[in-house]
Structure 1
């Protein structure tokens, strides 16, 4: 390793890199930002909690861009400063697009997905966000929901949060308190309707395979006040 000369302005500002390398840095930033955005959009709001995709990406990009030039002698300041500037400008441009164009918001942040309608879990909705019925029921219990029959509509928001709208009058549905895994099995009596333990769909007797989710295990529908 060559001896490092302290306060060597040539190494400090640009290092041994040609000036045209700054253009390559700009290209690298665009490629990495777009690629990472695509991947974050693919995993959706489930893994980034309440942060938007743009905000999450900004934290990752700035963390690397700001950290490396602080202690790496072979990382010149000027390319790192250009990276930070481009990341911030990218974030500002994304904010403007999100504020002005609804299409841009759908592309960058996604949109809400309906996961429950009339007390029944929509399989296509939870699949679109890589959720399972068990995970959704956990979120409902955390929101104070005891029975799917209490719910009129529920939506998974782009942030990963769950928006729940209750019915004025609860109907019979799948009781999720206590959790199904801890509750005693209560199969419907012969000739009685059954409630699917996976999605909450109520079917008339005889019950066999749920038409909504393919589940074969049933319980009695219950009604909570």
Structure 2
């Protein structure tokens, strides 16, 4: 401990050696840094936030930093940290109220759901927007019991970074196999068509082929096909995986248009 610091000096502990106007500077610094942090967290995307919203993560970081420094830095007065904590909590309450009252603020702070899959077809633009690769999507779908994309009606990337997966409640059409994981066993490429359904390995579109060289995918334009399947685990059944329906919300049956990004 420095010789200039007198232990238990209450004026130094609470006020420090600063002008009272410095409290206004602290308030301005807190507002600027909090807003900047919130913007950076929104740009970081939902994938990096786990199950915390950008606002909640900003609160955790802001409170942790403000509460930590005055605990062991003698030059940081307690009153300054207390003001920062109060401002952070106050801004959180204000933003929470604005999120409820104003849809524009809610969209900025929490984002919107993004539709990743529609009727077994992936949206490349939606995956790019969500900073997800096909392998990331397949991994999460396998956890939901999906074996091939034909089982899937809709997949939404929610504001909290989780996926909502809606499955066919009845027999599922053939689709692109995602089991086993492609890192372990990549799907066999098909270059010559025959009387069968082929699945595009880039977007999941299923198209019947009657023979000859395979055409470009009508959805994404790629020439990358594999055999479509109803059940890559064997048996040739057209089951939908687990109990059918939505992995998170328990919804089965046909779906209409929903919010988010339309594949294409």
1:200 alignment partner in structure 2:
204
How far apart are the structure 1 equivalents of 2:33 and 2:140? 34
Distance 2:15 2:150 in 1: 65
How far is the alpha carbon of 1:189 from its aligned partner?
Answer: 6.4
TM-aligned CA deviation for residue 202 of structure 1: 2.2
The Cα RMSD (Å) is: 1.8
Q: In terms of mean alpha carbon deviation, does 177-186 or 125-134 score higher?
A: 177-186
Q: Secondary structure at the match of 1:115?
A: strand
Does the CA-based 8 Å contact 1:123-1:212 persist in structure 2?
no
Shift of 1:61: 0.4
The gaps in structure 2 that reach 5 residues or longer are 232-238, 240-264
2:25 & 2:217 partners in 1: Cα distance?
56
Q: Which residue of 1 aligns with 2:93?
A: 92
Deviation at 1:44, TM superposition (A): 1.7
Alignment of structure 1 residues 151-166 onto 2, 5 Å: 151-166=152-167
TM-score (norm 1): 0.93
For residue 95 of structure 1, give the secondary structure of its aligned residue in structure 2: helix
Choose from 213, 222, 229 the match for 1:222. Answer: 229
Residues 81-136 of structure 1 show CA distances to partners (whole Å, capped at 9, x for unaligned) of 10000000011111112222222211101010000001011111111111111100
| Alpha-carbon distance, 1:182 to partner | 2.1
Structure 1 distance, partners of 2:26, 2:51, is 31
What CA deviation, in whole Å up to 9, does each residue of 1:134-155 have, x standing for no partner? 1000000011111100011110
Counterpart residue number, 1:180: 182
Deviates more, 1:168-177 or 1:212-221: 212-221
Query: 2 CA distance for matches of 1:196 and 1:75?
Result: 61
The alignment partner of 1:99 has SS state of helix
The equivalences for 1:74-153 within 5 A come to 74-153=75-154
Report if the CA contact (8 A) 1:187-1:194 is conserved. Answer: no
Per-residue deviation, residues 39-62 of structure 1 (Å, max 9, x unmatched): 101112111111111111110000
Quote the residue 1:25 is aligned against: 26
Report what 1:167 is aligned to. Answer: 168
CA distance, structure 2, for counterparts of residue 166 and residue 185 of structure 1: 22
> In the aligned structure 2, how far is the partner of 1:212 from the partner of 1:11?
69
Identify the structure with the greater helix proportion. 1
Question: Which structure's relative contact order is higher, taking Cα pairs within 8 Å and 6+ residues apart?
Answer: 2
* Further displaced range: 166-175 or 201-210: 201-210
